[in-house]
Structure formats: structure tokens, C-alpha cells
Amino acid sequence: MNPSNINSTNINSFTELGVNSFFLDKLKERSISKPTAIQSLVIPRLLSGGKLVFRSATGTGKTFAYLLPALQQLAEGEGGSGGSAPAILICAPTLELCSQIKAEVDFLTTGFPKPAPSALLIGSVKIDKQIENLKRTKPVIIIGNPGRLLVLAKMGKLKFFGLRFLILDEADRLTAQECLDDTNGLLSLIERGANRRTENSELCLVACSATVGEKTSAKLGELFKTAEIIESADHEILRDRIEHWAIFSEKRRKVQTLRSLLSALKAKKSRVKALVFTSRGDEAGLLLSRLQYHHISAAGLFGKTGKKQVGSAERKTALDSFREGRVDVLISTDLAARGLDIPGITHVIALDVPADTDVYIHRCGRTGRAGKRGVMVTIGDETQMRLLASLEKKLKIRVLPKELYNGQVCVPPPVE
């Protein structure tokens, strides 16, 4: 692969990118008139077909960057008979992200010039219902997680000879250890299907994330071997629009520190919408219980609490409650929050420090979106503060030390 880092663009409208009038009207419904930097780079390339791996900060419009050209190509051409042979396949690592993408597909295809039914195929739904849905609705657009897509393909319920677009969203997570086998298995089947295609139906390949790079690209194998790699200057959001705080706390006092922080933030702001990260699902469940015990309006987005598996309906309820403002705090693990687009998050709060920069970048990306500013807060002990200092150097950000005093967030006094 040959990386291409392009950091500026003079494009001021979607018309200049080649987006047709139908989608221009759809964008107006969202009050979107000017493309983001990554959209300016990606949309014309994908309208011309080919293979592309692109990187841009979260909140910079990656979903529309690939959906607009894919759907426009679908509207203007042939491909994908529907049902078992879709035209567009979008793969993402979590059910929440898959559901979010499905909602955007539904929005963009409402009033579409040709029938474009879509289906959501995720592991938390009974497979018999999904098979029946494929037969009944014959979707030309399918969104799903790699595990369920692979199972359906091996059963012969999904075929890829008519595929025009393959899109891997959050590609770095799809090639991480927990998803890699399923992703590789799916890509292998798609490659076999692509080899049976006609000469006039080139398969367009897309992979994207906030942190996708050479390592991720290498794991994508032969299908993406000749793909172009681009990134936009939007990654400066990490430094320009997000303020980074560090609050020292011994491990045994972290929950109390979190409670004090939330109280101090609410005293200062009329509205606080905080996303709280912890690495493990069982810790997230315990944290949620303790916050709710102290009458803090909170919900949880994670796979299990203790020995109890948390179902997709419960996670959807938690996410909707947070999105719609019925709760002020959402507790999440890193995987569960991947790709979530929740407007208005004022603070991201981490109760541990990740081992690498990618996780920190994804956490930060939940705030500072759509031109707004945000705050990333890390609560940690002495060991974790040293890890945070290392991330600070690698990411070239400035982390401000803070402390809680008299119900306020303050700058600590200088050490004498």
C-alpha cells in the first residue's frame, strides 16, 4: 500500500464533489451544506471506484464519506440482486455501531429513486429471524458484525458475487484479536465471490477508522493489498478542540472521586453529559450500581455485569436514555462505545489509562464533535499518571493537572 497524507482541501460544497441532487436535498434536511475535510477527500475517490483505506478523527463525517458515494453508485448502476446477493455490505464491530449505520442508511434511502431495502444482521438477534428477513425483504444493503455475517455466508444465506461495495467501519477493531478470525474468514469468502464476478462489475473496497494505519492495512490481506491510504488534517481535533485533564486518585477512592467530579461539573454547568470509560465489563457494572446507589442519574453500555449477560435491548435502552437526556452519565467499555455518534457529550471520563494511543484517541473522540469543544478527564493513581504522561508525549497533547477542592475543579498549587 502507498500512503497518501493530504492535509488541506479547497472544496466548499458537495456539488463540487459530484454528489447528485437527491443526496444534496437529504443533506439539507440535516442542515449540512459544506463537506468536512475527509468527505472532500473520500467522496470523489469512491465515486470513481477502487480501493481506499482512510483515517480521520471521530466526529468528522466518516459514515457519510462512504455512504454517499456507495448509495449514489447504487442508484445510478446495476449490481446486487438483493436477498442473498447484496450490492453493498457494511461490516462494523459492535451492534450499537451497526444499528447507528443502519439508521443513517435508512435516512439516506428514504425516497430513493430505486428500491433499496436494507437489513441489519447482528449476533444478538436469532438467526432464523434474520434468514427469514433476507428471503422476505431481499435487501440490497446489508449492515452487520463479522461473526454473524460469516455464519450466514457459510450457511449459504449470503453470497458475494453481486457485491459492489465492501465497507469495513472501525477497521482497526475489526482486525484486533477478538474480531480478527471472523473478519479474515469473511474477507476470504468475499474474495472468492469477487473472483467469480464479471469484468464490468468492479468491487469497491473501503476501510476506515480514527486510528487505522499500516498495521491494520497489513491485516486486511490480499483484497486491500493495493489500496490507497489517506488521512485528513481533522486529526488536529485532539489538540485543538479537546481539553485534557488529569486528576490524581488512589484506586480505592476512584468512585468517590468520580462522584465528586460529577457534582463539581454540574455545579458549574447547567448541563453535563458525561461518558465514563472503564476497561472491563464487570467493573462497569459495579461502577454503575454504586453511582445509582448514590442517586446519580446513570446508565450502562457493556456486555455483562458480574455473571449476568446484558442483552441488546437493555443496552439500547441505556443508549437511548443517554442520547435523549434522561440520564446524565453513561458507563461504557471501549468496545461498546466504538463508533458511537452521540451529540452533546461535554466530558469523557476515564478511570484507567490505556496501554496505547489508539484507545485514548477513540475515547477522546466521543466529545469535541461537530465543531464543539469537549473535555477528556483521566482519573488515575501514580502508576497511571506516568502512563498518561507517556501518551501525552506520543500524541503531542497538553494534559492539565486538576484537583477537586471545596466542590470545584481547581488547578493544584505548585509543588515547592
Fold assignment, 241-410 = Rossmann fold (3.40.50)
**What is the pLDDT, as a whole number, of residue 115?**
86
| CATH code of the region 2-234 | 3.40.50.300
Looking at residue 205, its pLDDT comes to: 94
Given this model, what pLDDT does residue 14 score? 95
pTM of the model: 0.80
Report yes or no: 365 and 57 within 8 Å, Cβ to Cβ. Answer: yes
- How high is the pLDDT of residue 195? 59
List all residues 6 or more positions away from 307 whose beta carbon is below 8 Å from its beta carbon: none
Question: How high is the pLDDT of residue 366?
Answer: 86
Residue 37 CB-half CA count within 13 A: 22
* DSSP string for residues in 167-215: EEETHHHHTSHHHHHHHHHHHHHHHHHHTTS-TT-PPEEEEEESS--HH
Q: DSSP states of 317-354 as a string? A: HHHHHHHTTS-SEEEE-TTTTTT---TT--EEEESS--
From-to residues of CATH 3.40.50.300 in the chain = 2-234, 241-410
Residue 2 is predicted with a pLDDT of: 46
The x, y and z cell numbers of residue 190, run together, are 468475499
Contact call for residues 119 and 105 (beta carbons, < 8 A): no
Say which residue the cell 435516512 belongs to.
Answer: 107
The pLDDT of residue 150 is: 96
Q: What tens-digit pLDDT sequence spans the chain (416 residues)?
A: 444 544 445 678 999 999 999 999 999 999 999 998 899 999 999 999 889 999 888 778 899 999 999 999 999 875 445 556 899 999 999 888 999 999 999 999 999 988 899 999 998 789 999 999 999 999 999 999 999 999 999 999 998 888 999 999 999 989 988 889 999 999 999 988 765 554 446 789 999 988 877 778 788 877 888 888 888 765 567 788 899 999 999 999 999 999 999 999 988 766 789 999 987 777 888 899 999 999 999 998 875 544 445 556 777 888 889 989 899 999 988 877 776 778 889 999 999 998 888 889 888 888 887 678 899 999 999 999 999 999 999 988 999 999 999 889 988 877 55
pLDDT at 49: 87
- Report the phi/psi class of residue 64: left, alpha or beta, with left for phi > 0 and alpha for psi in -120 to 50: alpha
pLDDT recorded at residue 274:
95
37 grid coordinates = 475535510
Q: Which of 372, 371, 366 is nearest to 97 (CA)?
A: 366
